[in-house]
Structure 1
Amino acid sequence: MLNRLWAFGAGILCTVQSTFNCQLGHYIQSPTVSALWAFIIGLIVLAFLKNNNWRHLRIGIHLSQSWFAGLAGAAFVTLMSLLILPLGPGLTVSISTLGVMIGAMLIQQFGLFQSKQQSISIYQIIGVIGMLIGTLIIKIY
């Protein structure tokens, strides 16, 4: 239950962080630089966390997963920074969350990236359809 609360909080932080990045990108007239600031500050904060050390960093730099994760994170943060202003935070985060859910379902269904393969359930499909309907309602109103 606690992990689910943490996940919920992470979703809220995603929206807040994306909105701040959008504002910063607007003020400095560069969404990519605002995304860079998010990574610089994140690097500083993460560097001081308990379990991080240079040995782990040296190991990670040689792994393709490090580079793919970094590229995906940079693309996500930059795209969110670019899209919140024209679409608004509600629609941007709703569409993003819908993409997260569909992506997670595909990874789960096919066992991609060495994840545990598990069939998509009817409840997941109903949930995504519900999210799609909610997103359309947000867009209409």
Structure 2
Amino acid sequence: MKGILFALLGGACITLQGVANNRISYDIGTWQAATITQLTGFILAAIVLAFVRDGSWKDMRQVPALYWFGGAFASVIIFSEVTAIQYIGVTFTIAMLLIAQLCMTFVIDSRGWFGVLRRKITVPQCIGVGLMIAGVLILKL
């Protein structure tokens, strides 16, 4: 149940972030919006870390170097999302983001990338993604 609640919270925040970034982008620019978002995200994460203290910095050397660039993906996400919202609107942008996320997770799961357990993609899962794509197309039309 916690996983579902956190997923819903994350999904809501992705949408709110996209709308806020779009407004910032409109006022001062897209990369400026990405910079502000990354900075405020860093500040909030640092504050939470100061109180939670649920990990250890000493184990950072065990993290493969590739994974240290996860934050750089966020800059691309922000830029892409804001730009898409300007062209196709919030609803269609978020729908397309979800489809892209699902398709990428299928690739990651099926190949076992990034150390995740390799999983076989089933026909019902493919049908589910197909239905989502059909729903987005209906939404757009």
TM-score normalised to structure 2 length: 0.88
The amino acid across from 1:77 in the alignment is I
Residue matched to 1:47: 46
Cα deviation digits, residues 25-78 of structure 1 (max 9, x gap) = 0011x11110110000001111111227894697589822111x1221211111
The amino acid across from 1:139 in the alignment is K
TM-score normalised to structure 1 length: 0.88
Q: Provide the rounded CA distance (Å) in 2 between the counterparts of 1:60 and 1:24.
A: 37
**Mapping for residues 1-80 of structure 1, pairs under 5 Å:** 1-28=1-28, 30-49=29-48, 50-51=52-53, 55=57, 59=61, 63-67=65-69, 69-80=70-81
Residues 60 and 66 of structure 1 are in contact (CA less than 8 Å); yes or no, is this contact kept in structure 2?
no
Residues 35 and 81 of structure 1 are in contact (CA less than 8 Å); yes or no, is this contact kept in structure 2?
no
Cα deviation digits, residues 74-123 of structure 1 (max 9, x gap) = 11111111111211000000001000000001100111111110000122
Structure 1 unmatched ranges of 5 or more: none
Structure 2 unmatched ranges of 5 or more: none
SS in 2 for 1:119: coil
Q: Provide the rounded CA distance (Å) in 1 between the counterparts of 2:118 and 2:64.
A: 27
Q: CA RMSD in A?
A: 2.2
Does 2:130 match 1:129?
A: yes
Moved beyond 3 Å, runs of 4+: 52-62
The amino acid across from 1:63 in the alignment is A
Percent identity between the aligned chains? 21
Residues 35 and 74 of structure 1 are in contact (CA less than 8 Å); yes or no, is this contact kept in structure 2?
yes
Q: Name the count of aligned residue pairs.
A: 138
